[in-house]
Structure 1
Amino acid sequence: MIENKDIEHLIKIELEKAIAAYKNSERFTETESVFNELMNYNFDRYKRKLKKEIKRKIKRSWTNPKKGINPELKLDAFLFEHYFPEVKDHEADIYGIIDWEEKKVDQLVIDMGYAYDFADGLEQDPGITMQFYNPFVKNKLGKSYYKDGILITEDTELAKCFQLKGMISIHQAFYELHNENAFDKVHKNDEFYILFGEHDDDCYLLLSI
């Protein structure tokens, strides 16, 4: 079992791998300035804003029966899932995971399998905002085209760097809120996880409670 205190270090290892892959890509020389802009993003300010957003949504949306939440359901996880960034203030949707039968959370990158369901009122609902992708979107990166019948999306290596860099701040926000007992109002099982990932890809462990 991975300890919460070790998650940041493991994400940083993944970030180092992603940066190496990006610097070996054909697009590196064309997009290096955007990469540098992202690395200088104010992630401390982002984390402070994110903590406020999470606390607000726990109370108003993610545990609120008036928003369709079934208070009788015990959750196995919150899954935050996002698509490839194309708009400003990119957002990851939240899914409440229940009846997760193939639960295996023993490493950073998680294969959830298919034996789970979504909680009432928590299926592709507004989750967390990811402003750190704004330099990527502003520079109109991530264009897609078809080659030999296959959809190719440019700058996936660069986007991965952005994702992992932002994930460090997202993990820190959730970890600090957990230590402040912010998730006590969430009706959860004894093993509860916060997961994060891109659509149709493996997801990452951000927190275990």
Structure 2
Amino acid sequence: MRRRVIQLVFNGFLIGSLCLGFSYGQQRYIDRNGVVVFEASEKLFEPIKAKNESVTAVFDASNNALACLVLIRGFQLDNPLMQEHFNESYMESEQYPKAYFKGILLDFTLENVGRTKQNVMVRGTLNIRGVTKEMETELLIQKVNGIMALHGSFMVRPKDFGIKIPKLVENKIAKTVWVTLNFKLSPADEK
């Protein structure tokens, strides 16, 4: 219970921080329960897959800005030992408690989005473990009953973000990690 309260307060503070760069008075969309999944499995070895269902995403329709905040400890792995190694050795989540993305949806107009799914490119920066890298990926977007759904996936390389994999297990962990995201953003004034 205490952890949940701390997480909610922390999320509120971070959402406010993320929104500082956004225009006030314009339509913003938010999802505080977004889902990010990563897959770092190698064939013939135990699956390495984690899911975080408390990701915060904010979209500002006035400038097409998208910001996402992921609390690293929110990722849940099936194996408790893997969970411990993920937080303590690889992600060092005490020192680097969050990852975030800040970007812009390219050639995008919210008014043109409806029930039909459409592809849109997003370009921005991804920060993991204090290392920021530029990235661009394609998202699938759809708007139904005022809810804006975003779905996408991209690849990251652990070494690009200073994540060191010990020699003993380097063949058991993928060199490239597949990340999938799903957000259902509601108008901020409804939250």
Verify same fold: TM over 0.5.
no
- Which one has a larger percent strand, Structure 1 or Structure 2? 2
- Which one has a larger percent helix, Structure 1 or Structure 2? 1
Which structure carries more relative contact order (alpha carbon 8 Å, separation 6+)?
Answer: 1
TM-score by length of 1: 0.29
